[in-house]
Amino acid sequence: MGRTPARARPRTSRLFSSLRRLLLVLLTLVLIARLTNFAESLFYGPTRDTGNTAAIDEDIWFTNAEGLRLHGWFMRARNLAPGTPAPAVLHVHGNAGNIAYHDSFSRFLTESGFHVFIFDYRRYGRSDDQGPLNRDALLRDTHAALDALLAHPDVDTTRVGVYGVSLGGAFAIPLAAQRPEVRALVTLSAFSSWTGVANDHAPLLGSLLLPRGWNPEHFVPDLAGRPWLIAHGDADRIVRIRHAHRLKSLADLAGVDATLLAAPGADHNEILSTHPEVRIAIAEFLSRLLDQQ
């Protein structure tokens, strides 16, 4: 009475054996995903071909450290003739599409007297369709873009800011931390960590599949001396506003001059169109820091 029938034991043993094999397969897949960069490559959504360059923009071609040829648009400050030095902003754009999908996030700055350079990472737009898609590689592309902007004859290299939107914030933050040429930083709808934003959409799985390292929040202490505007919509469902609060808290702890602008009711992609006060705040912030002669 009460004893497990002998013939039930093999079934239990087979069950545990199957579970062990399943766990081994899952761990192997996780390891492969991390080592081959497969999981992170799924993070990006590049689109090729930007169409025709607008008549008011200048095509800029430049080469990164690996020899890849990258493309961008130099959007000239309104009412400034070629040859007139002016402050400039590097626009590090968001995930899906290419520069033709993202120029509306920064073109308004040309009306405030800024040159704006927006570029495509590798595999995006007209940039070379080669090389790995991962955070290290795209950060190298961002460094190369800053070099290209600084080399433009119409840019006052003493008055340069960086503006990272969404995914672009993950590269704009370390760029500003690593490059003393950057005088001011703006991030719009940026996330604080890669695994954090991945877990927002795929709990636990994001941490398992995505490799660690190069989280934007790790670079915050190195931003000392670079004023920073953190703008975010409190109804953002793609990058939740908790990321903005996390970045602001870390900035405060590190003594970084950071301002958080939380736009009530603003979502991720429509924040500038539905909340024009955010555009005004970004332009005024950059004007205050970069317009000083």
Q: Who has greater pLDDT, 13 or 88?
A: 88
What is the tens place of the pLDDT at every residue in 9-33? 556 565 555 556 654 544 444 444 4
What is the tens place of the pLDDT at every residue in 207-224? 777 777 789 999 999 999
Residue 172 in tokens: 């704009």
pLDDT greater than 90 at residue 35: no
Nearest 5°: the CA angle 199, 201, 202 is 60
Q: Distance of alpha carbon 268 from its chain centroid, rounded? A: 13
pLDDT greater than 70 at residue 111: yes
Which residues lie below 8 Å from residue 118, measured CB to CB, with a gap of 6+? Answer: 72, 73, 75, 91, 93, 99, 102, 103, 106
DSSP result, the chain: --PPPTTHHHHHHHHHHHHHHHHHHHHHHHHHHHHTTHHHHTT--B-B---SPPTTEEEEEEE-TTS-EEEEEEEPPTT--TT--EEEEEEE--SSB-HHHHGGGTGGGGGGT-EEEEE--TTSBTS-S-S--SHHHHHHHHHHHHHHHHHSTTEEEEEEEEEEEGGGHHHHHHHHHH-TTEEEEEEES--S-HHHHHHHHSTTHHHHHSPP---GGGGGGGGTTS-EEEEEETT-SSS-THHHHHHHHHHHHHT--EEEEEETT--SSSHHHH-HHHHHHHHHHHHHHHS--
pTM of the model: 0.87
**The pLDDT value given to residue 39:** 64
What is the tens place of the pLDDT at every residue in 229-262? 999 999 999 999 999 999 999 999 999 999 999 9
